[in-house]
Structure 1
Amino acid sequence: MAGLPHNKMAMDPALVRLGNMSAQRYKYFRWTPRTAWISFMFLGVVPACVGYVAYTTDGKWDLRAKRRGDVISEF
């Protein structure tokens, strides 16, 4: 069983082309205003927002060893 070919069905040419394109996407990438804006958002704005929320809520909640009815917020 281990040596038998597993792809007995014909491969769909569109799926093969999609697989090749996604594997070689770096060859076809081009900087446009849209890709620059998306990159700026995901590399700058999103981490800044997550960092701001993490900094402002640091130490605000203590979830360790709480029982039902205990208050979660520390201040």
Structure 2
Amino acid sequence: MAGPSKSLVLDPALQKYYELNANRYKYFRWTPRHAWLSFVYMGLIPGVLTYLTLKTEGKYELRGKRRGDTIAEW
């Protein structure tokens, strides 16, 4: 027979974890560790990638190369 089972028992520990995960924003606090990680992931990494991208823009041409040709244009 189809339908909900009366013998289904939910694990209280999993239910508590699901509730905590759904309401995570209510329990968040800024700590020095959170501030540092936020700076690294939102500032430092994109900044370094942007710098490297702008520094090497136009330097490499991968299309139309033959064996033995250099990749660097300048």
Using structure 1 for the length normalisation, give the TM-score. 0.72
Paired residues, number? 72
Segment drifting more, 15-24 vs 31-40 = 15-24
Structure 1 unaligned blocks of 5 or more: none
1:15/1:67 CA distance change after superposition, 3 Å: farther
1:11/1:73 CA distance change after superposition, 3 Å: farther
Structure with max Cα Rg: 2
When the two chains are superposed, the root-mean-square deviation of aligned CA atoms in Å is 2.4
- Partner of 1:52, secondary structure, is helix
| Per-residue CA distance 1:44-63 (angstroms, 9 max, x = gap) | 11111111111111111111
1:67/1:13 CA distance change after superposition, 3 Å: farther
